[in-house]
Amino acid sequence: MQDKYISYDTRLKTRARELRKNQTPAENYIWQKILRNKQFFWYKFTRQKMLWFFIADFYCSELKLVIEIDGDTHFSDEAIVYDEERTLELNKLWLQVIRYTNKEILENIEWVYENLKNKLHNLQKS
């Protein structure tokens, strides 16, 4: 798939703006330490990106990469199923989805950086 614009449900605009203004501590931390201002290998990431019917926590269009930060609410059975279905739908748009937990980010940002770097390397190979 070429670098194609991904349309979105315009009704998500207000919610995405609210989420950008009210980031969770983990979202803010990964944004400040890794993703902001092309800090991560000069790739541009955006926050709370509207993609189709979803709002991704972070998105890099050049890499076709979505990064999701999972808080405590993501570990219920319903949330796990929803996240899996959401990932499958994003994969249909040729997007890769990487997930980290709040705990991983807040307690081990160095590991997150190295893990993301390794996953990026593997994505570029394929």
**Which structure tokens are listed for 113?**
């950086």
* pLDDT tier for residue 126 given thresholds of 50, 70 and 90: low
Average pLDDT, the chain: 89
pTM listed for this prediction: 0.88
Within 13 Å of residue 41, how many CA atoms lie on the same side as its CB?
11
End-to-end CA distance of the chain: 14
Task: Delineate the domains of the chain, giving CATH numbers in brackets.
Answer: 24-45+52-125 (3.40.960)
Average pLDDT of the segment spanning 75-95: 86
